[in-house]
């Protein structure tokens, strides 16, 4: 707690014996939260809804109060999921699923649903679990987004996991600038439907600041109010 208070109060501090800085980056984030909201609204009427949000993310929404017979809905979801997530699996990509119900436990890498840019009623439904959504994040597709924009993926999620690295999800490089992407950034991709493009833009800012070596920082987007207000 002392480390967190120092970090928030001064903008810099230590986390697990590592120097960390909070930096405000000139980036306006793009998310798919509007599509998540649409799925939740559809689930309010039909019980379930699903959609591919981006090249990296697939989402399913549920309203427990509207599901009378789950079997046909489950079969429908399985068919829809197989077209996207199944194809990712078949091509050997690493896909991680995560539910908003999991976020109701203590998960410091997630924004609280109370501040999501949804209606108050929708936020309450998420908080009490009567509505929830599940997202499937394709880690390899995120890596390909980086590569398409001139970055090199030095270590994938699988490689870092095998090494026992619990601090980062992926390691990328541009020039001599190496970035260990923390779990918090990938959690934003997963639960806030943050576009991989936005994450890359943030690291591009750091690269243009003549970043060298390996850096650890917590990026805050200057255009954040556009999403959350």
pLDDT at 216: 61
**CA angle at 141 for the pair 75 and 228, rounded to the nearest 5°:** 85
Give residue-wise pLDDT tens across range 187-224. Answer: 999 999 999 999 999 999 988 886 554 556 677 888 88
Query: What residues does 182 pair with on adjacent strands?
Result: 168
**CA angle at 145 for the pair 83 and 82, rounded to the nearest 5°:** 10
pLDDT at 44: 95
User: pLDDT category, 89, cuts 50, 70, 90?
Assistant: very high
d(CA 212, CA 177): 5
Is residue 151's pLDDT more than 90?
yes
pTM of the model: 0.89
- Domain locations along the chain: 2-30+140-228, 33-138
pLDDT at 224: 86
Q: Determine the average pLDDT of the residues in 161-179.
A: 91
d(CA 79, CA 73): 10
Give residue-wise pLDDT tens across range 68-87. Answer: 888 888 898 999 999 999 99
Nearest CA-CA partner of 163 in 175, 177, 144, 180: 180
* Contact predicate 221/198, CB 8 Å: yes
Query: What residues does 137 pair with on adjacent strands?
Result: 57, 96
How many C-beta atoms lie closer than 10 Å to residue 140's C-beta? Answer: 19
pLDDT at 68: 84
What is the pLDDT of the chain when averaged over all its residues? 88
Query: What residues does 31 pair with on adjacent strands?
Result: 194
Can you give the three-state secondary structure of the chain, one letter per residue? CHHHHHHHHHCEEEECCEEEEEEEECCCCCECHHHHHHHHHHHHHHCEEEEECCCCEEEEEEEHHHCCCHHHHHHHHHHHHHHHHHHHHHCCCCEEEEECCHHHCCCCCCCCHHHCCCCHHHHHHHHHCCEEEEEEEEHHHHHHHHHHCCCEEEECHHHHHHCCCCCEEEEEEECCEEEEEEHHHHHHHHHCCECHHHHHHHHHHHHHCCCCEEECEEEEECCHHHHHC
pLDDT at 82: 96
Give residue-wise pLDDT tens across range 10-67. Answer: 556 555 566 667 778 899 999 999 999 999 999 999 999 999 999 999 999 999 999 8
pLDDT at 24: 82
Is residue 9's pLDDT more than 90?
no
pLDDT at 214: 52
Give residue-wise pLDDT tens across range 99-149. Answer: 999 988 877 778 889 889 999 999 999 999 999 999 999 999 999 999 999
């Amino acid at each position: 707690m002392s480390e967190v208070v120092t970090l928030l109060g001064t903008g810099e501090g230590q986390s697990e014996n590592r120097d960390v800085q909070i930096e405000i980056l000139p980036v306006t984030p793009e998310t798919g939260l509007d599509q998540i909201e649409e799925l939740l609204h559809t689930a309010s009427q039909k019980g379930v809804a699903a959609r591919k949000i981006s090249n990296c993310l697939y989402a399913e929404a549920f309203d427990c109060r509207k599901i009378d017979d789950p079997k046909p809905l489950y079969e429908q979801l399985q068919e829809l999921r197989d077209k996207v997530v199944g194809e990712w699996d078949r091509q050997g990509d690493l896909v991680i699923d995560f539910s908003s119900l999991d976020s109701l436990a203590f998960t410091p890498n997630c924004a609280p649903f109370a501040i999501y840019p949804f209606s108050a009623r929708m936020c309450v439904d998420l908080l009490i679990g009567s509505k929830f959504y599940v997202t499937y994040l394709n880690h390899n597709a995120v890596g390909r987004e980086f590569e398409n924009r001139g970055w090199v993926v030095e270590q994938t999620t699988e490689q870092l996991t095998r090494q026992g690295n619990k601090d980062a999800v992926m390691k990328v490089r541009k020039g001599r600038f190496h970035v260990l992407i923390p779990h918090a950034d990938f959690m934003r991709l997963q639960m806030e439907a943050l576009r991989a493009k936005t994450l890359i833009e943030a690291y591009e800012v750091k690269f243009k600041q003549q970043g060298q070596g390996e850096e650890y920082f917590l990026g805050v987007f200057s255009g954040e109010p556009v999403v959350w207000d």
